[in-house]
Amino acid sequence: MSAFDPIGDLMRSFPFRHHNNCPRCPVTGAEDIPGDEFYEILSLRFNIRIARELCRAHAPHLVNRRPLERWLEHARVDWEHVDHLPPALGPGIMATLPGGCGMPVIDGNHRAARALRDRHEFFAFVLGESETLELLRRSMGRSIADHYWERMLNSKPHPNDVQEGEQ
C-alpha cells in the first residue's frame, strides 16, 4: 500500500510538457513561476540571478575560442538542446576563481556551444575574483564559500588550465 501523498498525486496529474519536448527547455506555462537558477561545479554553487545582478554594469568580453573549447569539453552540454536556442541570446557569465583555478562559464554553456559550432563569436560578462567571492557567499553562505575559496587559493593550477593571456 502506498503512502498518502495528495500533493504528489496532484502534481503528477498535471500534464507538464517542456518546450520542444526537450528536458532542458522551460516547462510550457511555467515561465512565470519564480525560482532561482543555479550552476554547480564540484562543490561550488552559483546563483545565476545574483550573478546577473553583479555583472549588470559590466561590458561583455569576447571569449577566446581555444579556452572556451577546452571548457566545453568538460561542461555538461545537451547538444539536442543547442538547436532550440535562438542564435543571439546574449552574453554568458564567467566567474574568476582564485589561485589559477580557472574561469568557468556559469551561465551560457549551451549558448557558447552553439556559437562555437556555428563559428560565431561568444561574449561573456566576466566577474572578477572579489565579485565571484561575493557571489559564492550570497549563493552558498559565507562560511562554506570562504572554506572553498581558501582551498582554491592554496591549490596549484592544473597543467591544462587556461594559460595567462588566453582569456
pLDDT of residue 119: 92
- Strand-pair partners of 47: 38
pLDDT of residue 20: 47
Q: What is the pTM of this model?
A: 0.75
C-alpha–C-alpha distance, residues 75 and 108, integer Å: 11
pLDDT of residue 132: 97
pLDDT digits (tens, 9 = 90+) for 38-82: 888 889 999 999 999 999 999 999 999 999 999 888 888 777 767
pLDDT of residue 89: 74
* 51 Rama class: left (phi>0) / alpha (psi -120 to 50) / beta: alpha
The DSSP result for 11-60, as a single string, is HHHS---BGGG-TTSPBTT-TT-----EEEETTEEEEHHHHHHHTTTPPP
Q: Residues of the chain whose pLDDT is less than 50? A: 1, 10-12, 14-20, 22, 24-33, 164, 167
